[in-house]
Structure formats: C-alpha cells, structure tokens
C-alpha cells in the first residue's frame, strides 16, 4: 500500500474531526512519499484530542500541502522519496497505525544507515514549512517560570549555571509569599488574555491553591493514574510474547478511562496526562522527570503563553546495598538531588520555550523556592549580569515581563 492508493473510506476508523480533515486533503496525502505520509497521519489521527495550537499547526500544514502543484510537491518531497523502505513497512497498516509505523520506520532507518539522511530531510522540511506559514501574533509575550528546590534548607553550589549567560542573576530576592505572588501573576495573565490551554500551572508534587483559569497538572493528583498504569504494565509484561515493541503498542492505545480517569473530564487534557506516563521515560518513577517532561510536552504541543512549573523532591535512588537489605522502608526523598535535577530542568524549560514563536520577546524566571536566589531572562534585562536589588517575586516578575 502506497499513499497514491489512498481512498476516503480507508479513514473510516479515524475519529470524526480527523476523518473529515484527512478526506478534505486526500489529494495532497496521495502525493506524499511513504517515508513521510504516516508521520503526518500520526498527527491527524489524534486531531480530535489535540490542543488548539496543534490543530492550528496541522491545519496550516495540510493547507500548504494542498496548495502545492504536483511538480512543487515532488520538489518538496524529493529527499523523502530517496529512502528505501522494506517490504514489511510497505505492507504495514500505516493508515490505521501510523504511530507504530513511524516507530518501525525509525528502527529500519537506523539499521540501514539512512537515519542521518532522514534527519536532514525532516529538518529541511520543517524549516521550509515554517518559512511559508506565518505564526499568529501572540496576545502577550510568552512567560516561563520555574520554581526549584522545594524542601532544601541550604545549598552552597552555584545555581542556574546554564542560564546565567542569558539573563540577570538576582541574589537578594525577598522570598516571602513568593509562590503565591508568582501564581497570582500567572492568574492575572490568564484573566487578561484568556486563551484555551494558554496558561498552565504544573506541580511536581502537591499543588497549592491556584486560579481555575490555569490549566493544572499535578504529579500527586495523578497518583491513582500512575499506580493504575504501573499495575497495567506489570500485568502486560507477564503475558507470553510481550516484548518491548508490543508493550509500546499497548501503551500507545491506553485510554484515560482504562486508567480510571473520569469520562466526564477534559478529554484533551486527560489524554495529554496519560501520555506523559505512557510516552515519557522516567515520568512514572521520578517527580522531577515528570515535571520536566510535562513542561516540554506542554510547550511543544499546547504552546502556552504562561507556564509555571514547580518542582518537588523526588524519591531517592537507593544505593545497591540498601536495596538488597531486607530492612529498607518506604522510599525517602532526595531534596538536594532534586534541586540539581530541577536546575537542569529549568534550563530545558527555557530551551523548549525558545523553540516557539516569539522567542526573542519571551521572558523566563527561575527561583530557588524559599530563598533569595533567582534569575530572569528578558529582552529588557542584561545578559550575564548580576543584581543585588531587593525585590520580591511579584516585583521581579513584573520586571521580567516589562
């Protein structure tokens, strides 16, 4: 089966909006090479459960493809047409299982030493697509906030080392009510610029009181989901014939209701949260990893205008001798290790934010919770600088977005 043989009825298994979209752009899909089409369908098939920003991006990409003439289409996808694919891939049901196809394609490209070429073709395509699609102007400059170091009483090593060259380091911040001030700032932005899934609060532990205008994800609130998933995984890996690929396929199909989530909930957000656990690596074990991956995926997919991520202490990785000892108790927490993790996660938060439209105007603030150290990156603040001004977190936030 090759894309040129695609027919409208073959999308019967797609959810309604996805099916409508695929059929509307069938002529364009038919002209795509097999090395590319399933990657696009992987996005299309989940259209009904995607964030508005993702739907907008898919709409624009398909509209662009449909606007190309046949010769332009050949020229755009010439590089992708060069890759040789196995018969197994060609006979795969890539229409209904595009995600699994892409996984197998990736493995095949690695083994046939075609990955580097594919990587270049994909990067070139992404750059070209960006050059012909104009991003919508943002209603407000994007803002990222990372709150790290919860539960750490003192830490003497330098923080924010990766970010210092990009912003101003503040060493005399007034920490009182800092978290409340930051959440209030996020809520105020949500009220002034109401955008669906536009303003987020992610907590790696137990969340604190916050505005209902914020899209909220919490590691602790998802504990029943996490426990249910781990139970599901353990049951699956006991089954005969269950290997890594089969398990990934199984995980990709798990729905929120299978993990006990309320069917009356937010279908888009619930699926997003399930995928944090089924697609993320380490998110099921460490809360710091969960918070970082949530930030990454929220930025990549929902493209929020405001994203506040608060890291909590993760469980300790016990040394081998303690694990072997029969006397060990419940997992203890590792606040210092979590601070080091979160410091790096804050850097990744900023990097991922900088990949989005409006990066040159965006702001970022990271604060060592309960302490006087913070760093702000903003077009209005000098880079690689240090300030000893005594501001509280509300004032610092205002300065960062000014």
Partner 1 sequence: MSASPFVRGIAAAQKRKVIVITFGGGARDQETFAPEGQENIPHMMKELIPQASFFTQVMNQGILGHYVATASLATGVYETLNNFSAVPPDHPTVFEYFRKDLKRPASDAWVVAPSNGFNRIGESDARSYGAGMGARVVLPKHLLTAAMSGSTTDYDHLLHDNYENPLSTPQLAGGEFELQQLEMILKLSVDDFKAHALTVSSPDELSMYIVRRLMQQESPSLLWITMHDIDIAHAGAYSLYVDAIRRTDRLCAELWKAVQSEPEYAGNTTMFILPDFGRDADEDAGGNGFQHHRTGDTASRTTWMMALGAGVKEGVVYDRPMQSIDLVPTLGAMMGFSAAQSQGLPVTELA
Applying CB under 8 A, which residues contact partner 1? 110-113, 115-116, 119, 161-162, 233, 237, 243-244, 247, 280-283, 285-286, 288-289, 292-293, 296, 314, 317-321, 323-326, 328, 334, 336-338, 340-341, 343-345, 347-348, 351, 355
Which of 72/317 has CB closer to partner 1?
317
Q: Minimal distance in Å, beta carbon 204 to partner 1?
A: 12
Q: Minimal distance in Å, beta carbon 234 to partner 1?
A: 9
Q: Minimal distance in Å, beta carbon 344 to partner 1?
A: 4
Both structure tokens of 387: 């300030």
Q: Minimal distance in Å, beta carbon 93 to partner 1?
A: 22
* Ramachandran region, residue 149 (left: φ > 0; alpha: ψ -120 to 50; beta: rest): left
Q: Minimal distance in Å, beta carbon 321 to partner 1?
A: 5
Distance CA 305, CA 163 (A): 20
Which of 227/237 has CB closer to partner 1?
237
127 exposure class (CB count in 10 Å sphere: 0-12, 13-18, 19+): exposed
| Burial letters 1-38, b for 16+ CB under 10 A, else e | eebeebeeebbeebeeebbebbbebbebbebbbbbbbb
Which of 175/337 has CB closer to partner 1?
337
Distance CA 204, CA 341 (A): 12
Distance CA 47, CA 54 (A): 8
CB 191 within 8 A of CB 387: no
Q: Minimal distance in Å, beta carbon 95 to partner 1?
A: 25
Q: Minimal distance in Å, beta carbon 335 to partner 1?
A: 11
| Burial letters 211-239, b for 16+ CB under 10 A, else e | bebbbebbbeebeebbebbeebbeeeeee
Which of 19/314 has CB closer to partner 1?
314
- Give the SS3 label for residue 385: strand
Which of 120/191 has CB closer to partner 1?
120
Give the count of beta carbons closer than 10 Å to the beta carbon of residue 154. Answer: 6
Which of 119/383 has CB closer to partner 1?
119
Those residues with Cβ within 8 angstroms of residue 378's Cβ, 6 or more apart along the chain or in another chain? 167, 363, 364, 399, 400, 401, 402
Residue 271 to residues 48, 145, 212, 222, 275, Cα–Cα distance (Å): 11, 24, 20, 12, 6
Which of 93/116 has CB closer to partner 1?
116
Nearest C-alpha neighbor of 303 from the set 128, 134, 50:
50
Which of 95/229 has CB closer to partner 1?
229
Nearest C-alpha neighbor of 298 from the set 261, 233, 344, 348:
348
N-to-C CA span, the chain: 55
Which of 70/157 has CB closer to partner 1?
157
Tokens 């994007």, located at residue: 142
Q: Minimal distance in Å, beta carbon 279 to partner 1?
A: 11
Q: Minimal distance in Å, beta carbon 400 to partner 1?
A: 22
Q: Minimal distance in Å, beta carbon 117 to partner 1?
A: 10
Which of 181/292 has CB closer to partner 1?
292
- Give the SS3 label for residue 153: coil
């Amino acid at each position: 089966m090759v894309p040129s043989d695609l027919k409208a009825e073959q999308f019967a298994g797609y959810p309604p909006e996805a099916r409508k979209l695929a059929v509307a752009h069938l002529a364009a899909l038919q002209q795509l090479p097999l090395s590319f089409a399933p990657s696009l369908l992987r996005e299309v098939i989940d259209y009904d459960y995607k964030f508005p920003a993702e739907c907008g991006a898919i709409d624009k990409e398909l509209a662009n493809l449909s606007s190309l003439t046949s010769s332009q289409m050949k020229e755009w996808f010439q590089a992708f047409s060069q890759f040789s694919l196995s018969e197994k891939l060609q006979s795969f049901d890539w229409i209904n299982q595009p995600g699994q196809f892409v996984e197998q394609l990736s493995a095949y490209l690695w083994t046939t030493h075609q990955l580097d070429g594919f990587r270049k073709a994909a990067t070139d395509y992404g750059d070209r697509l960006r050059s012909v699609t104009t991003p919508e102007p943002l209603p407000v400059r994007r803002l990222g906030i990372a709150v790290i170091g919860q539960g750490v009483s003192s830490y003497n090593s330098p923080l924010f080392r990766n970010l210092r060259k990009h912003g101003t380091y503040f060493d005399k911040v007034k920490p009182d009510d800092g978290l409340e001030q930051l959440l209030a700032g996020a809520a105020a932005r949500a009220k002034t610029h109401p955008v669906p899934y536009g303003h987020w609060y992610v907590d790696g532990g137990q969340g604190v009181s916050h505005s209902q205008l914020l899209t909220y994800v919490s590691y602790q609130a998802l504990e029943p989901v996490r426990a249910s998933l781990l139970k599901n995984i353990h049951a699956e890996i006991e089954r005969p014939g269950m290997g890594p690929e089969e398990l990934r396929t199984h995980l990709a199909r798990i729905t929120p209701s299978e993990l006990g989530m309320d069917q009356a909930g937010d279908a888009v957000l619930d699926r997003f949260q399930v995928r944090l656990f089924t697609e993320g690596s380490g998110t099921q074990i460490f809360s710091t990893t969960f918070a970082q991956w949530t930030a990454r995926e929220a930025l990549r997919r929902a493209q929020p205008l405001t994203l506040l991520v608060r890291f909590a202490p993760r469980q300790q990785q016990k040394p081998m001798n303690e694990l072997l000892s029969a006397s060990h108790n419940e997992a203890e927490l590792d606040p210092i290790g979590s601070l080091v993790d979160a410091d790096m996660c804050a850097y990744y938060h900023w990097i991922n934010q900088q990949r989005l439209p409006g990066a040159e105007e965006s702001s970022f603030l990271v604060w060592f919770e309960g302490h006087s150290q913070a760093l702000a990156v903003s077009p209005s603040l000098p880079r690689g600088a240090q300030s000893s001004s005594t501001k509280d977190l509300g004032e610092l936030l205002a300065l960062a977005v000014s």
